[in-house]
Amino acid sequence: MKAIIISDICPLYVGTSSQSELADEPLHGMVVETVSGVSDGYQRVRTHYRYEGFAEPANLLFDESRVGYWENAPKWTVWALYLDVKAKPDVRAGNMANCPRGGLLERLDSDEILEDGYIEVGLPDGRRGFARRAGVEPQIASWSRSDETRLRAELVRTAKTYMGAQYRWGGKTPLGIDCSGLTSMTYLLHGIHIYRDADLRPGFDMKEIPFEQKQPGDLLFFKGHVVMYIGNDEYIHSTAYREAVGVVINSFDPDSPLYRGGLMEKFLKAGSAF
């Protein structure tokens, strides 16, 4: 059985309690698979990127007909940091839903831009609302390696749009994001599926490469940490390091003011989707 995330963010916990460790944050409009029945008021689910955890059922829509429709419907991906879906195309209208970056909305037959830059969009439960066209882009369902240079530059640019977001263990939005949340969401926004954790796993769009072959957009894996290489000996990452908590840029160059010592001592492998 499958379900659709209908809250802005659906926390997935390691255990059946909101006080347990946060494992992941599936976003509005994502479809998850139910793994087992409800336990202690929580539903165990599995995401399309093979991550599991316990969710509060109130965040899920279990209607099989809606799930089937939603999976095949064309989508908008939210690119705004956070986007309101309004009851009317008016900034003063009430909110019907809220979506963080990476959330999904239905793309209807008409893309007509209405007053104040709004378009009509669909919600998972079948309702229709209005969102700012500037905050969404057509979902990238698949990706192509045909223009590698351009895509690498876009990955770096997208990662940088999270600059300043606080570090949140298990997080994956501009409200709070961890190291693998940053890298996996950056790739997912471009239609590329990589493993959610700071590791390489079979069955995802990334393979190991020698460290010396790294290029902008490639990932570097350390013990318990992952960063994106952005060129010129610099990398972007979300860190809980006491002197820079959140998404920042650091350097491998000891002469750079952005240098952070000690990280290379924990280096494990490099990975590339190209």
Which single residue is written with the structure tokens 């066209």?
Answer: 133
Which single residue is written with the structure tokens 């959140």?
Answer: 246
**Angle value at C-alpha 172, between 70 and 128, nearest 5 degrees:** 30
Active site residues: 179, 225, 237
State the Cα–Cα distance between residues 203 and 184, nearest whole angstrom: 14
- Which distant-in-sequence residues (6+ apart) come within 8 Å of 147 by Cβ? none
Contact 47, 32 (CB under 8 A): yes
Residue 159's CB: how many other CB atoms inside 10 A? 26
Region of 231 please: left (phi>0), alpha (psi -120 to 50) or beta. left
State the Cα–Cα distance between residues 18 and 22, nearest whole angstrom: 8
| Three-state SS at 235 | strand
State the Cα–Cα distance between residues 9 and 181, nearest whole angstrom: 13
- Which distant-in-sequence residues (6+ apart) come within 8 Å of 242 by Cβ? none
Which single residue is written with the structure tokens 């990955």?
Answer: 155
